[in-house]
Amino acid sequence: MHDKPTFLTRPYLPPLEAFLPYLREIWDSRWLTNAGPFHEKFEEALRKYLGVPHVCLFANGTLALMTALQALRITGEVITTPYTFVATTHALLWNGIKPVFVDIRRDTCNLDETLIESAITARTTAILPVHCYGNPCASQRLQQISDTYGLKLIYDAAHAFGVSVDGRSLLEQGDLAVLSFHATKVFNTFEGGAIVCHDAKLKQRIDYLKNFGFADEVTVVAPGINGKMSEFQAALGLLQLQHVDLAISARLAIDRRYRQALANVPGVQCLASAEGVSPNGGYFPLLIGAAYPLSRDQLYETLRRHGIHVRRYFYPLISNLPMYRGMASAGPANLPVATRTAEQVLCLPIYPDLDAKTVDRVINIVSSPC
């Protein structure tokens, strides 16, 4: 066992001395939340960086997702993926919405767009896909389906910060896209999140909803929630934006090293980015097949014994959890690809300050586990 563990991911943090002037300004102003100066600056800076029309900042990504569903008045049933973090589906339940699970594609781990139409019923009001590991969904086909059936299209883009296809941001797609700025993400504000939307009227509604529904001091226009991002989070976000391109570049260098070294290991499959995609290096998932000398779980335990904290991300499937497994769409027979993928996936460590020696140590163990 190595003395210093290697984690799946670690948040990038700029030097403390760079944050202190921001902290002093907040301290002196006594404006800690409620759309303060740093909040407004960060929102505009983020909008420009991402190249999107409007950004609404939130305290975390789950609140952003729950509010997105409220903003579009989603009810009834929503078609979504079982292969994601639990917040995706929990946000539906918390809004009184029934998730309907559809299987995924093996090559991207995203919703299989060819199966969606057969899951649509008279109660379906929206589709909630996830850009899993930052891999773009089949957005053109998803938009066609949404338009044909009159459904809303909300993307869980928690993994997709900075990802583009043919030079255009993934966040431009759908009715809304939801980001997470959790500490483990490519871009973080300790905790945080955002909704990307396309028109000023919808942005105004979202901003009302995240502030208890207040339109002004005495007017409440909707049953809102407290989803506001604090000045401390916004200040860190402004500082992080100065470094995020370097952080992504460092992640992609590690991604390339893993791919080159593991490309010919029997039983190990690395997911590849599609042509035209500019990825962000947020995750490095492997699929461990029958030709590998160990099972996925045996490799997991081997790496953990060496102090390398990999994760089976996403395992178990959401559809196997107690609050979902009784649903008709949650049966394994309905989700064969997702079930198999969850049993084989293993995410390797990847973060900007992961040193080359440690990367090579991970590669050596995966390449020669016995």
Query: Considering only CA atoms, which of 131, 140, 124 is closest in space to residue 83?
Result: 131
* Whether the domain at 16-241 and the domain at 244-367 fall into the same CATH topology: no
Q: What are the residue boundaries of the structural domains of the chain, listed by start?
A: 16-241, 244-367
Q: What is the pLDDT of residue 272?
A: 87
Phi, psi dihedrals of residue 58, rounded to the nearest 5°: -135, 160
Cα dihedral value 152, 153, 156, 161, nearest 10? -130
Query: Rounded distance, CA 295 to CA 234, Å?
Result: 43
The structure tokens listed for 220 are 């409440």
The structure tokens listed for 50 are 């991402």
Check if CATH label 3.40.720.10 holds for domain 244-367. no
Check if CATH label 3.30.56.10 holds for domain 16-241. no
Q: b/e map of 149-178 (b: 16 or more CB within 10 Å)?
A: eebbbbbbbbbbbbbbbeeebbbbbbbbbb
How is 159-222 classified by DSSP, letter by letter? T-TT-EETTEEGGGSSSEEEEE--TTSSS--SS-EEEEES-HHHHHHHHHHTBTTEEETTEE-S
Q: What is the pLDDT of residue 1?
A: 42
The structure tokens listed for 183 are 């500490």
Query: Rounded distance, CA 110 to CA 122, Å?
Result: 24
The structure tokens listed for 125 are 């009001």
The answer to whether 196 touches 155, Cβ cutoff 8 Å, is: no
Q: What is the pLDDT of residue 245?
A: 96
Q: What is the pLDDT of residue 274?
A: 86
- pTM comes to 0.96
Which of helix, strand or coil describes residue 324? Answer: coil
Q: What is the pLDDT of residue 194?
A: 98
How is 73-135 classified by DSSP, letter by letter? T--SEEEE-SSS-HHHHHHHHHTT-EEEE--B-TTTSSB-GGGSGGG--TTEEEEE-B-GGGP
CB-based contacts of 126, cutoff 8 Å, min separation 6: 69, 72, 74, 78, 79, 151, 152, 153, 154
> What is the full per-residue pLDDT of the chain (370 aa) written as tens digits?
444 677 778 877 788 888 889 889 999 999 999 999 999 999 999 999 999 999 999 999 999 999 999 999 999 999 999 999 999 999 999 999 999 999 999 999 999 999 999 999 999 999 999 999 999 999 999 999 999 999 999 999 999 999 999 999 999 999 999 999 999 999 999 999 999 999 999 999 999 999 999 999 999 999 999 999 999 999 999 999 999 999 999 999 999 999 999 999 999 999 988 889 999 999 999 999 999 999 999 999 999 999 999 999 999 999 999 999 999 999 999 999 999 999 999 999 999 999 999 999 999 999 998 7
Taking CA atoms, 36 is separated from 31, 44, 218, in Å, by 6, 13, 20
The structure tokens listed for 150 are 């009159």
Query: Considering only CA atoms, which of 130, 143, 145 is closest in space to residue 80?
Result: 130
